[in-house]
Amino acid sequence: MFRYYFKLGWLSIRNNPLLSALMVAAIAVGIGASMTTITVNYTMSNNPIPHKSDELYYVQLDNWDPNQDDDGAFEPPDQVTYTDAMVLMKARKAFRQVASNRSSLVLEPDNQDERPFMVDTRNTWADFFPMFEPPFLHGSGWDASADENLERVVVLSREINEQLFGGENSVGRSVRLNGMDFRVVGVLDEWLPIPKFYDVTNNPWSEPEEVYIPFNVAIENELPRSGNTNCWKPVDGNGFEAFKTSECVWIQFWAELRNADEEREYMQFLNAYVEQQKELGRFPRPLNNRLDDVMEWMEREEVVEEDAQVLMGLSLLFLGVCLLNTIGLLLAKFLRRTGDISVRRALGARKSDLFAQHMTEAGMIGLGGGLLGVALTLLGLKGIELLFGDMVDNLVSMDWVMVLTAIALAVVSALLAGLYPTWQACRIMPASQLKTQ
Amino acid sequence: MLRFENISMVYRTDSVETHALREFSLEVEEGDFVAVTGPSGSGKTTFLNIAGLLERFTSGRYILDGKDVSALSDAETSRVRNEKIGFIFQSFNLIPDLNIFDNVDVPLRYRGFNAAERKRRIESTLETVGLTSRMTHLPAQLSGGQQQRVAIARALAGNPRFLLADEPTGNLDSKMAMSIMDLIKSINMAGTTIIMVTHDDTLASMARHNVHIRDGRVSDAESDFQLADVATA
């Protein structure tokens, strides 16, 4: 019977094009508005590395001003100092660990005709690659000995490799960064973790860096930094050496801990380290170290912004208003059809038959609204992109899950909107209508 | 076959009670052709609606085809209507969006026949009413007489035991009306029981029996056979 109801629904929509178009438009506008904000929230709350997000822990050490408590919770800083990062790296107490920061270097192409350009760079350690699992197109990451021996090695993003080497396997080739030659050991494939979980202290919606070099090489050569740096004490002295020993935080630290025992032991290690540092006059605040897995860290950093959630609530209310309009329009449409309904009742249709027929039509209108709503959502996301630019580049795309969600939401909404009009239509007493037609 | 036992039908509003039928009793035998006549407001249409299970009555008992149908559920009355009763209305009541084939198809869909069976029945009944060549036409493309023939085909497609006709020629000219009456008579001759409500004495005279309703009751004096000889409930 569903095909029959589908045919009847199509006939009804075709024979009332204006009314049908109004209903489709009402649902589409509601879906477009709500799905735009839902998509942004969905993308924001995405788990970027679902198979091991509960094994990767972000480390926070509460080395901050005891008199500064902006939010009343004595939150530890969201990065660590160079001093602490080096201690944690050398201790190697986790299964894997990585300290990293963002920088921006000048890349000089081999071709003299091409001008040097800036590349986003991540200064990191060998464990970065097995921990965060970026896919490789060619080669691999470097090994721990490269970190220790200050080897000038580099991993390129796919885009930079295409730009410099036309997409060829460039492993073994040389890349000149800030006047120094780096040997290519690996080329990444497309990699777009959303959000960019390994560094949310900078824009979590930006793309991963274009080149990756050993952290120690960057330090040794005093390469420039471009990420966030916060200090609660003035730097004691001038120059890079003074900065390295300062209490400024600018490094993100991650540890890979495979089970609860490893997590507990690592926390004990962190606490012991901080207690020891307290004796040396550092860490003036009470002990408050933290280990957050990926999703806990995203939540703590409020990657899903409150504004976005409020906006999503408002847009869902707007969808409700659109549905109220649809209810009115469906009611008008269905009740105009009392003759048809009465004849069908006289010919043997049960109320449930008529219910199914009208709900099918409501569902079809919802489907139309959903498809148009997807188009409006894409338009809305484009508008956000135009409004906020690069900051939201990776937030404003719709995957298949969201497309299907939009259509499903539209159909369900239309079915809900259709319940009351359909119920009213099914209540029509056929005898009162058949004589008066 | 069809038996009304002391059926009363009262329409109530806040301040008014209207008695459409008053202890109405009637028995129609299988294969009969009964014309129901009476002045406007006498209860003819109410009788027909109750007979067709389109309305519930206030009191009494209704036996249809040997079964008490007084208190059936909505789904059960729908099934009985679909399987046993065919309707012909004064204003045809074809569904304007559907072509002739699909209009005749409506009761068969609710009957649950497969596509081949439905097609066979539709073609057969449209042939009976002489409209096989118009199957793809919309109702608006047909004359009044042709539309009523389609309505008759729709009523017959499910092979019902009863045909209930409410002023079936009321919207037709006299020539068309006679043609439709000939068709209805031939259907009756083939064995289908017919109850026809009409104002027209000429048409009523074409039925085998006449029942005259006045003030919600059968008027024995004006009816041509003993109708109320039924047991009271």
pLDDT digits (tens, 9 = 90+) for B167-205: 888 877 888 888 888 888 988 998 899 999 988 888 888
Is A349 in contact with B78 (Cβ distance < 8 A)? yes
- The tens digit of pLDDT for each residue in A45-85 reads 778 898 999 999 999 999 888 887 666 667 899 999 999 99
List residues bridging with A249 in a β-sheet: A230
B221 confidence band (pLDDT: 50, 70, 90):
low
Report in angstroms the alpha-carbon separations of B156 from B87, B105, B125, B139, B149. Answer: 9, 11, 7, 18, 10
Is A12 in contact with B166 (Cβ distance < 8 A)? no
Is A347 in contact with B166 (Cβ distance < 8 A)? no
A-B contacts at Cβ under 8 angstroms: 72
CA–CA gap between residue A435 and residue A385 (Å, rounded): 60
CA–CA gap between residue B6 and residue B9 (Å, rounded): 10
CB contacts of A343 in chain B (<8 Å) are: 93-95, 106
* A348 at B interface, C-beta within 8 A: yes
- The tens digit of pLDDT for each residue in A292-316 reads 999 999 888 877 767 777 888 898 8
B225 confidence band (pLDDT: 50, 70, 90):
low
CA–CA gap between residue A214 and residue A126 (Å, rounded): 7
Percent of chain A surpassing pLDDT 70? 96
CA–CA gap between residue A163 and residue A111 (Å, rounded): 11
CB contacts of A431 in chain B (<8 Å) are: 49, 54-55
Which residue is listed with tokens 């494939």?
A189
Can you tell me the mean pLDDT for A148-174? 95
Task: Compute the mean pLDDT over every residue in chain B, rounded to the nearest whole number.
Answer: 86
Percent of chain B surpassing pLDDT 70? 94
Query: What pLDDT, on the 0 to 100 scale, is given for residue A233?
Result: 86
pTM > 0.90: no
Query: Which A residues 9-28 touch B at CB under 8 Å?
Result: 11-12, 15
Interface residues from chain B to A (CB-CB < 8 Å): 45, 49, 52, 54-55, 74-75, 78-79, 81-83, 87, 89-91, 93-95, 97-98, 106-107, 109-111, 154, 158, 166
Task: Compute the mean pLDDT over every residue in chain A, rounded to the nearest whole number.
Answer: 90
Alpha-carbon Rg for chain B, nearest whole angstrom, is: 18
Check pLDDT > 90 for residue A90. Answer: yes
Judged by average pLDDT, the poorest of A55-59, A64-68, A148-152, A358-362 is A64-68
Check pLDDT > 50 for residue A259. Answer: yes
* A345 at B interface, C-beta within 8 A: yes
List residues bridging with A138 in a β-sheet: A187
Query: What pLDDT, on the 0 to 100 scale, is given for residue A388?
Result: 67
CA–CA gap between residue A342 and residue A8 (Å, rounded): 15
Is B97 in contact with A15 (Cβ distance < 8 A)? yes
Check pLDDT > 80 for residue B226. Answer: no
Query: What pLDDT, on the 0 to 100 scale, is given for residue A426?
Result: 86
Of A340, A348, A437, the CB nearest to B111: A348
Percent of chain A surpassing pLDDT 90? 60
Name the minimum distance, in Å, from the CA of B50 to any CA of chain A: 9
Check pLDDT > 70 for residue A390. Answer: no
- ipTM computed for the complex: 0.89
Is A350 in contact with B110 (Cβ distance < 8 A)? yes
B231 confidence band (pLDDT: 50, 70, 90):
very low
Query: What pLDDT, on the 0 to 100 scale, is given for residue A303?
Result: 77
Cβ atoms A355, A422 nearer than 8 A: yes
B227 confidence band (pLDDT: 50, 70, 90):
very low
- The tens digit of pLDDT for each residue in B6-50 reads 899 888 887 788 888 888 888 898 899 999 998 888 888 889 999
Is B75 in contact with A430 (Cβ distance < 8 A)? no
Burial (Cβ within 10 Å: 0-12, 13-18, ≥19) of residue B14: exposed
CB contacts of B74 in chain A (<8 Å) are: 350-351
* A356 at B interface, C-beta within 8 A: no
